[in-house]
């Protein structure tokens, strides 16, 4: 999959086509404040970026944003999902190329543990819920 950046002015047309693919990722990250509507608001405001596999008939999508962590700029991949036929390994190569065009060398994201078998990743942090 070659992720294609959706222009901010086209988000209102594209987002309804792909939101169903992002909902499982949003629900999996239930420790965040994100909802389908809040992501949409960030996209149309230009604070987050939407990438799809096809402009006309998207089946896979990724939401990202630039962030500064510890004084270093990163491209943070917040949510991704689709019909399961995407080559996400190829997509990550393109996301790293996209980030490098903006002077960003690190691409980070929240991924389910199963993704670790697909990508070379370094774990940065683990989030725990305190029960006692």
Select the more confidently predicted residue: 42 or 113.
Answer: 42
Q: How confident is the model at residue 21 (pLDDT cuts 50, 70, 90)?
A: very high
What is the pTM for the complete model shown?
0.85
In angstroms, rounded to a whole number, what is the distance separating the alpha carbons of residues 71 and 73?
7
Q: Which domains does the chain have, with CATH numbers?
A: 4-117 (3.40.630.30)
Query: Any idea what DSSP says for residue 10?
Result: G
116 pLDDT above the threshold of 60: no
Q: 88 forms bridges with which residues in the sheet? A: none
In angstroms, rounded to a whole number, what is the distance separating the alpha carbons of residues 100 and 96?
6
Specify whether the CB–CB gap between 62 and 5 falls below 8 A: no
């Amino acid at each position: 999959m070659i992720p294609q950046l959706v222009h901010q002015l086209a988000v209102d047309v594209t987002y309804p086509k792909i939101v169903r693919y992002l909902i499982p990722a949003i629900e999996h990250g239930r420790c965040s404040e994100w909802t389908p509507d809040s992501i949409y608001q960030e996209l149309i405001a230009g604070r987050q970026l939407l990438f799809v596999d096809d402009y006309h008939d998207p089946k896979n999508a990724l939401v990202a944003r630039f962030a500064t962590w510890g004084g270093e700029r990163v491209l943070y991949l917040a949510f991704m999902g689709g019909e399961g036929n995407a080559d996400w390994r190829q997509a990550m190569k393109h996301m790293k190329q996209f980030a490098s065009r903006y002077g960003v060398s690190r691409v980070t994201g929240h991924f389910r543990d199963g993704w670790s078998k697909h990508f070379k990743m370094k774990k940065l942090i683990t989030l725990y819920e305190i029960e006692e």
